[in-house]
Amino acid sequence: MPLSTPSPAQLDVADALLALLRDSTTEPRPDDQLEALTLAVAADLPVLLWGEPGIGKTAALTQLAESLDLPLTTVIASVHEPSDFSGLPVIGDDPAEQGVPMAPPDWAVRLVKEGRGLLFLDELSTAPPAVQAALLRLVLERRVGALQLPSAVRIVAAANPRASAADGWELSPPLANRFVHLQWTHDHDVVVRGLGGTWPRATLPRLDPERLPHAVDFARRAVCGLLATRPSLVHRLPSGEARRGGAWPSPRSWEMSLRLIAFATAATSSREVLSLLVRGTVGDGPGLELLASLDRMELPDPEVLLADPAGAELPERGDLRQAALDGVVSAVGARPEKARWEAAWALLARAAETGAPDLVVVPATTLAGLRRAEWDVPPTIERLAGAVSLSRRADEAAALVGSGARRVNGAASAAGAR
């Protein structure tokens, strides 16, 4: 039986239902990857979101554009020709005198007329090499044909891994090195709340004007300090084709990292956000080395700690606190004096009272070995005795359990052999 044609009234009801389904709200919600994306956009760096199909990359960009009040222009890179980015030749009245100008496409003209916007280059990994080559100038210089895009235009791209992309290509190294690469994953709670009508809200990071000079100085010291001691990291093109299509270190990407560190410092972003940005710019290996260098820069000066043990501010993170205490003991060893030795004991006692007591065991053992015969044992050591003793008993118990397990396993193996 043929289907009946819906009446206009039924279509109006259907449209009303669709409007209700599209109706949603937003809420402030901590989201590291969304904050990293927003920070990179604020820093005016091209960003490339990597993720499986259907993961929400396009939806995140749409919501980001709305939150930042930027008109969104979407260009599907894989369905365009190279001339759509390099410009179409237009022959004028006198080519010998005037040359042949390269006319830009309509979407670029609209962006210039708006004066601002978010340019979204979707399906980048399915664009053939010739299109990727044409995109080089757009991504780096913001030029489309003879047209210069306004400085208020930001560029974000999205791509699927080659294994899950339809007719996918690896990104060319020159194009890949122009992006901040962010791995985009879904958060179960965000998806559930979003389907319920509430999505997280992207907001521009709040940059503290008073921290700007410090942020720039900190970023420059971090990057230059690492590259001064690790010159091989300045430029390292990966050997594999797949890795060349991701983040890798070059003078260009180190400059991008420096900018992102400055922005993250001025915005007091978390270490997790900074890690996403740094590793997404120079790669995992060099990025982790840079993060470790940043940690060492943030360690308090051992001499400052020794000067005022009672008021000393120790790092909260266990690994940084351990490094700070080891630095203090090393400073005492380099210049052993009774007053400094006693100040170090006072600092260890404070560390045991304000954090994990087991972190002071190794520094305390080393500090005890620095004692001179004429130095009296300070009363502070009694405050540490319990923590050190408890930690040692725990270590001994763990060793006994491990030894017992090995004996049981050995006996079981011998029984099985028989």
Reported as type and span, the H/E element at residue 88 is strand 88-89
- In tens digits, the chain (418 residues) has pLDDT values of 566 665 668 888 898 999 999 888 888 888 888 899 999 999 999 999 998 888 888 888 888 888 888 999 999 888 888 888 877 777 666 665 666 667 788 888 899 999 999 999 988 888 888 888 889 889 988 888 878 899 899 999 998 886 665 566 788 899 999 999 999 888 888 888 888 888 887 777 889 999 999 999 999 999 999 999 899 999 999 988 878 889 999 999 999 999 999 999 999 998 899 999 999 999 999 999 999 888 888 788 888 889 988 888 888 888 788 888 988 999 999 999 999 998 998 898 888 888 888 888 888 888 888 888 888 888 777 767 655 554 444 344 445 445 544 553 454 444 444 5
Tokens encoding 363:
């520094």
Side by side, the strands of the sheet bearing 153-159 are 72-76, 117-122, 153-159, 47-50, 180-183
Which amino acid is located at 144 in the chain? V
The pLDDT value given to residue 53: 82
User: 3-state class of 82 per DSSP?
Assistant: coil
Reported as type and span, the H/E element at residue 95 is helix 95-98
How far, in whole angstroms, is CA 19 from its chain's centroid?
36
Per-residue CA distances from 165 to 40, 122, 333 (Å): 25, 12, 59
Rounded CA gap, 309 and 325, in Å? Answer: 11
Which amino acid is located at 378 in the chain? P
Answer yes or no: are the C-beta atoms of 148 and 222 closer than 8 Å: no
* Residues 156-195 pLDDT 10s: 999 888 666 556 678 889 999 999 999 988 888 888 888 8
* Residues 314-369 pLDDT 10s: 888 887 888 889 889 999 999 999 999 989 988 988 888 888 888 888 888 888 88
Residue spans of the domains in the chain: they are 25-88+102-200, 209-298, 313-410
The verdict on domain 25-88+102-200 having CATH code 3.40.50.300 is yes
The pLDDT value given to residue 396: 47
